[in-house]
Structure 1
Amino acid sequence: MVCQENVKIIVMLCKLEDNECTKCEKYWPDDFSHFRFGMFLIENVSVKGNGSYIHRALKVKWNNNTRTVHHFQFLSWTLKDVPSSPKNFTVFVKQLIELSDEYPVVVHSEGGCGRTGIYILCDIILRMSIKEKKVDFFKTLEKMRNQRGGLVSNLDQYIFSHFVLLEYYFGKNFSSSNKPSDFVLKIQEAMQESAVKRFVDRLDKATEHCRTISLDDTFNNIRVIAVDCFNYPGRFIVTEEPSANNLCSFWNLVANNEVEIVIWLNGIEDNDEEYSSFWPKDTLHWSLNESNKLDIVWQENTNDTYNTITIKIDTTGKSEEKFVKIIYVKTWERTSAAPSNTKGIIDVCDKIVPYNGQIVVTCYDGTTASGLFVALVFLLEKINTHRCCNVFEAAKTVKQNCAQFLKNPEQIKYLYEAALEYVRKFNIYEVVV
């Protein structure tokens, strides 16, 4: 089909696997290798990525013909109906619009309806807006559904396409300057009280339709919010500290997802009867219930900011043992909107870099410290990947998942302080833009 229809671009809107379920068979070779399908020889000659998507160049040979097909796989879309932020998806669609004027484009997801429909609707609407200076979502979708039923599966997806249009025309670049002196000056200006107030007002307007996205209903007795990180879609599972009433549910959440790390941001206060440590302390072994048993494998007093504890989870019916690292932050008081030790928190962010699995982030109320932490990780990952400091993008991306994130203006100031500390620490601010 690709060769017959003279296709030059394939758009893939799902992962090969999601939540241990196969979503699509892999139809391209590994990076810089090749394989044969019947009379077609396919070679993967180039791979580029920016965290939210991967661009592969596939050279296809058959008979005496050779063609390069560009394969774009969007990654920042987990099991949710829509991506958590329209920004990365808008950039993705915009780039493909600029490339795909002359040739047919193959678009697919798992089922070829919801995600595929959103992409096609956004592509048509953006082209319509450029050419005709007006748009008609309803008639466009009606025409699409006359050709293939079920495209754009629900109201959230239809609304999301409107946000993509708004992001395309009104989304701004709030990145900081690329000169060292200008960068420091911009950070200092951004931390002024009046600038922070304008930032908060702009953030509130941009996220006034925040959505709280929960995981599987199995865990509905604890509040759970899924949050994307810059390089890892669906990386964070944000929740409140488990109490005695939902301790088993918490560890079931960890055991039944691809969780490698649990980050506990607020310590337990003395004589707290409702909350206590949620891993074995006085004994090295816990039996939570008939299904789950916890064993401490290694406990380390890492530094003044945090400790690390490695836990083994033994789940009945599963042959493989699961190991989870707990990072326990000791210096972030429950009453504080931001931690006092910025360098220590940056060290925590660096510590999670080698891990590819999901990360559970928990704090006293489930939102204050956790919202700031996941925004900080997003910000630092973008600085490290693109040498680009964009506090507004980090705050907006995170806050769109939950309106309770980043409510305190002091947290915005902290993100700027942490960005400055980070680029100074690694001496990279000369190329930050």
Structure 2
Amino acid sequence: AVCPAGLYGRECENRCNCAKDGENCFVSTGGCPSGCAAGYHWEGCRKRCDERYFGIDCSQQCSTNCTNQHCRPTDGTCFSCIVGKQGPMCDADCTATLWGDNCTMSCSADCKDQLCNAVNGTCFSCVAGKSGENCSEEDPPVAAIVGPVIAFAVLVALIVIGVIFWRRRRHKKDGSGQAAPHGFTKNAEIDINFVSTAMKNTNDIQAEKDGRVNHVGSVYYNHVSGCSETAIRFDDLDHFLSTHGREFFQKQFNSILANSSASTKAAMSPENVNKNRYKNISAYDHSRVHLQTDVLKSYGDYINASYIDGYQQKKQFIASQGATKINLEDFVRMLWEQEVEVVVMLTILVEGGKLKCEQYWPNDGEITIGEVTVKLTTTQVFADYTIRRLCLYKKAPPVHVLTHFHFTTWPDKDIPTTAWGLVDLEQRVAAISTSKPIVVHCSAGVGRTGTFIALHNTLEQIKDTGYMDVFTTVQKLRQDRINMVQTFQQYEFLHKAVQIAMVCKGTTVTTRDIRDRIHALELAESGQSILEMEFKDEQHENEEVRENNTYCNSRLLTNRMKNRLDNVLPKEYFRPNLRCETQQLGNYINAVLIPSCEKHDHQILTQLPLPTTVIDFWRLVTQYKVSLIVAFERNLNTVDQTIADYLPETEGETKTCSFFNIKTTGLDSRDTWDVHRITI
């Protein structure tokens, strides 16, 4: 949608929160070229400052004189002041004769000079003839108190003398007469529970000043408030991943507990047991989705689907197994009854010759499943996923419209080759505002489904706290559905996906926003432009431990001469394999297959041919049926013996390379490039 100035979002439902008044934000993300307005932060300037922070980027803390340290996020003014303080920032003491909330109460007239404590109103001293905290008591006659005071003083003196005499006798019985260290007496029974303030070391005192200390008896603990032992500060994630390997993730994953107390009575009942795709994966009774039933209960209320909490939203997701022949109608009923607006499908229909999910949408037009008709209105195909727009309706209104995200490059019980596609998908899903449950399913509805939901919840946790706790996140998911995140490889992959997601958040923009986006990238921070910093982050995320077999073919003695540079080599997984026409020709070429926006392996990156690899270059072109070559060649004024003369330069010219004849059939020369039409 083309939104009016100051609005953004799919339906232009969100308001921009930019630092400059009247500035247009990015329609796709809500981000602002000038940064967020005071009181807002994070991606798209959508998140208001936490209760105790305010200002630009929420970088300033509310005054401790604000009640509960809560203030307005825009300017830091307090909603109310603690007792004894007043003013917009609560930085002024009550005037001399006032006290209490917002200094609205007057000190007692019985206080001397009407002066009192600004917090509790007690008098510093009383006028003549008055006594007590509030000077509200009449002073008794002097004679009435002199006698009891003298008697009490004599009694105290006798007790003190007796104690001193007793202690001296105890010391004599001890025999040594030496004082115990640190000022304690040697009688442990007397002093064991005594902790002297004077004995605190300087570290303890400094820790108290920093607010980092918990007192439990005489023990001190430094800790991060509200974080579990498995929480990681996001800023430390790079170091964490570089220092923790596969063994760590496997051990931690194996320690995640299952919900052994959860019952599955409904799932295991005779009428429902065949509705579960796998015998060992079913819905817990306490979290299962209940389908609506008619009066006669002609169809049951069970479906293998579970409500799952988001990071801060109850029942934000429904984790479900994929549709089967038996429950196809039930699956569509669930979408209808729950008024679902977003579905995330993480499996293809058939994997390894096995049906993983029944198709519940038409390839074109519409289909009727049970009482619900499903109509396909639009389809967008991308390299890793497809986005469909579906309409669900019955014979009478209403019509439910949902967006169907279908991720197509994630093998069962495995992980995607890279995290980039899944991260892109999650960002698209997160950008849709919906109050209805988001249905997420794969085949069983636990492994890939759990990983996706855990990724979303972890990213929300980072946005809220700056910390991430994948362990606890997965543990919570398993309280409501069995085996959420099914393998330790998926668990390890989650951490990497989080790392990538936080690097590329907010970097997708619409064409309308490109000019403003480029301007924002050119802004300098700490001596570097944002563009430079993003590029460094990108480089860092692609640095990884290189396993021994990553470049095994590239480093073979027979192939080394085919590489122009020793440090620019193709990874085995992405390398195109050439078909060997003769025994002398190998299958290697220094090239990689990369996706376009819409197709996998749609483009090939390769070096300019070396004199020894011209034949391999043309083998690559013909075997992969290349129809367009874009070559960034040498400057004609320079001489580079490593670049082969592989292309006929003039129209009608033919070059022969082994069993290939290459002919230029057309030539169009421009100022900075030439267009050759060639026939092979």
TM-score by length of 2: 0.36
Whether the 8 Å CA contact 2:485–2:491 is kept in 1: the answer is yes
| Alpha-carbon distance change, 173 to 210 in structure 1, aligned in 2, over 3 angstroms | farther
Could you tell me whether the CA contact under 8 Å between 2:458 and 2:468 is conserved in 1?
A: yes
Deviations 1:200-221 (A, max 9, x none): 243227x554673102154744
> Is contact 2:322–2:357 with CA below 8 Å preserved after alignment?
yes
Q: Structure 1 residue 170: deviation in Å?
A: 11
Partner of 1:193: 246
Shift of 1:275: 4.1
**For the residues of structure 1 that align with 2:344 and 2:451, how far apart are their CA atoms?**
13
Q: Residue 255 of structure 2: SS of its match in structure 1? A: helix
Query: Which residue pairs with 1:374 in the alignment?
Result: 453
Shift of 1:272: 5.1
- State the SS of the aligned residue for 2:473: helix
Match of 1:184 in 2: 238
Summarize the alignment of residues 376-415 of structure 1 with structure 2, pairs less than 5 Å apart. Answer: 376-415=455-494
Taking the aligned partners of 1:273 and 1:424, their CA distance within structure 2 comes to 36
Aligned-residue offset at 1:393 = 2.4
Match of 1:214 in 2: 288
Cα gap change, 1:385/1:316 in structure 2, threshold over 3 Å: closer, same or farther? Answer: farther
Q: Which amino acid is the alignment partner of residue 240 of structure 2?
A: K
Question: What's the counterpart of residue 379 of structure 2?
Answer: 299
Equivalent residue in structure 2 for 1:355, among 406, 410, 432? 432
Taking the aligned partners of 1:382 and 1:312, their CA distance within structure 2 comes to 33
Aligned to 1:239: 320
1:257 is aligned with what amino acid?
Q
Give the Å deviation of 1:349: 0.7
Contact 1:389–1:419, Cα closer than 8 Å, also in 2: no
- Quote the offset at 1:254 in angstroms: 0.7
Higher strand proportion (structure 1 or 2) = 1
Q: Is the 8 A contact 1:264 1:326 kept in 2?
A: yes
- Alignment counterpart, residue 276 of structure 1, candidates 340, 358, 370: 358
Q: Corresponding residue for 2:206?
A: none
Secondary structure of the 1:242 match is coil
Aligned counterparts of 1:356 and 1:231: Cα–Cα separation in 2: 15
- Residue in 1 that maps onto 2:41: none
Correspondence 1:156-175 to 2 at 5 A: 172-175=228-231
Query: Which amino acid is the alignment partner of residue 380 of structure 2?
Result: E
Q: What is the CA-CA distance between 1:67 and the residue it aligns to?
A: 8.7
- For residues 59-70 of structure 1, the aligned pairs below 5 Å read none
How far did 1:308 drift?
Answer: 0.5
Q: 1:288 to 1:186 in 2, by over 3 A?
A: same
Aligned-pair Cα RMSD in Å: 3.8
**Retained in 2: the 8 A contact 1:313–1:323?**
yes
Answer whether contact 1:238 1:370 (CA < 8 A) is retained.
Answer: yes
Tell me which amino acid in the other structure corresponds to 1:287: T
Q: Structure 1: state its 5+ residue gaps.
A: 1-45, 59-65, 69-129, 134-168
Q: Which position in structure 1 is the counterpart of 2:401?
A: 323
Measured in 2, the distance between the counterparts of 1:266 and 1:217 equals 24
Secondary structure at 1:222's aligned position in 2? strand
Label 1:407 to 1:392 Cα distance change in 2 as closer, same or farther (>3 A).
Answer: same
Q: Is the 8 A contact 1:309 1:326 kept in 2?
A: yes
Provide the rounded CA distance (Å) in 1 between the counterparts of 2:476 and 2:350. Answer: 32
Taking structure 1 as the reference length, the TM-score comes to 0.55
Counterpart amino acid of 1:183?
L
Paired residues of 2:356 and 2:443 also in contact (CA < 8 A): no
The whole-number CA distance in structure 2 between the counterparts of 1:249 and 1:387 is 40
2:305 paired residue number? 224
CA distance in 2 between partners of 1:353 and 1:202 (Å) = 30
**Deviation string, structure 1 residues 81-130 (Cα, Å, up to 9, x no partner):** xxxxxxxxxxxxxxxxxxxxxxxxxxxxxxxxxxxxxxxxxxxxxxxxx9
CA gap 1:175/1:330 in 2 versus in 1, 3 angstroms: same
Determine if contact 1:187/1:420 at 8 Å carries over to the other structure: no
What SS does the aligned partner of 1:298 have? strand
Match of 1:332 among 390, 394, 410: 410
CA deviations on 1:162-211 (whole Å, 9 max, x unpaired) are: xxxxxxx99824232464xx431212333x23322331243227x55467
SS in 2 for 1:338: coil
Distance 1:419 1:170, change over 3 A: closer
Alignment of 1:68-147 (within 5 A): none
Question: If each structure's helix is expressed as a fraction of its own residues, which one has the higher value?
Answer: 1
Q: Which has the higher contact order (CA 8 A, sep 6+)?
A: 1
Instruction: Tell me the CA shift for residue 238 of structure 1.
Output: 0.9
Between the two proteins, the alignment pairs up a number of residues equal to 272
Aligned counterparts of 2:490 and 2:423: Cα–Cα separation in 1:
15
Aligned to 2:615: none
Could you say which residue in structure 1 is the equivalent of 2:331? 250
Distance in 2 of aligned mates of 1:316 and 1:422: 43
Residue segments in structure 2 that go unaligned for 5+ positions in a row: 1-47, 53-67, 72-78, 82-213, 218-224, 264-283, 293-299, 506-533, 538-680
Give 3-state SS (helix, strand or coil) of 1:347's partner: helix
Q: Percent identity?
A: 15
Residues 244 and 274, structure 1, Cα contact 8 Å, conserved in 2: no
Q: Does 2:418 align with 1:341?
A: yes
- The 1:186–1:300 alpha-carbon spacing in structure 2 relative to 1, beyond 3 Å, is same
Q: Are 1:338 and 1:372, in contact at CA under 8 Å, matched by a contact in 2?
A: no
8 A contact 1:209–1:400 mirrored in 2: no
Shift of 1:416: 1.2
Which residue of 2 is the match for residue 204 of structure 1? 257
- How far apart in 1 are the matches of 2:403 and 2:502? 27
Pair 1:420-2:503 in alignment: no
Q: SS of the counterpart of 1:243?
A: coil
State the 4+ residue runs in structure 1 displaced beyond 6 angstroms: none
Change beyond 3 A, Cα 1:203–1:189: farther
Task: Give the Cα–Cα distance (whole angstroms) in 2 for the partners of residues 348 and 276 of structure 1.
Answer: 22
Task: Give the whole-Å Cα distance in 1 for the aligned partners of 2:458 and 2:227.
Answer: 18
Residue identity matched to 1:235: Q
CA distance in 2, matches of 1:420, 1:244: 39
Contact 1:331-1:341 within 8 A present in 2 as well: no
- What secondary structure does 1:355 align onto? coil
